[in-house]
Copies of this chain bind each other. A is one copy, B any other.
């Protein structure tokens, strides 16, 4: 990457003591790396494209479904949930988002955000303005290539996720969920075996398509089996291999 680390990393230091992703581990880094490759971009220009660090307080929306698309966001610290509404007004959780991950990808084609996104705790994001980016004719093609890469990867992930969970039983889903969270944190060099479940049980249940009572019971069960330790929102993965095994499909090779 031609982008110098300091250029992206000169953030004020972690004032809230929350886990915060380093710029080098952020999803935007790849995208911007390409943009800045041609060296033509001055720090001022980069500055313009990447609006650093907006804060979003717990319970606030970063954006809402239907709002016009104006750029991608990367989670800098904290966590978010994306959700839509079923007819009947009930919230349906689409996903959770952690430091280093991108928000708004599925909206690039449609000019409007597809989901609402809300902070699960006090959080911060970086914004990548598309308007500015489109003006950079020279680098635009490379940027597009990055986007295609990200998107087609997303399609793949989505399909795999869907294919799995539809076949999984409740405990398998939950195990897969925990392992999934853990690996995503690990990917960005964040604490991966002990962390806070910032979302409510209701959110987890909705995301996994389970009843809230089932989530509660199964977490209990996992604890009894020595797979995890839960204490309200704090969770510790004790037996990751065990969880990983559970998360796989059942009954194939007896």
Contacts and interface: CB of A to CB of B under 8 A. Distances in A.
Question: How many copies of this chain are found per oligomer?
Answer: 2
B88 A148 contact: no
Nearest to A254: B88
Contacts of A114: 156, 159
A141 interface: yes
Nearest to A107: B152
B155 A86 contact: no
Interface stretch (A38-46, A194-202, A245-253): A245-253
B253 A152 contact: no
Contacts of A140: 141
A208 B144 CA distance: 34
Contact of A162 (B88, B89, B162): B162
A75 to B, nearest CB: 18
Given A162-B165, A208-B166, A209-B167, A253 B87 contact: yes
Given A145-B144, A155-B105, A158-B155, A163 B92 contact: yes
Complex A-B, nearest 4 residue pairs according to Cβ-Cβ distance, in ascending order: A88-B252, A162-B162, A166-B209, A109-B152
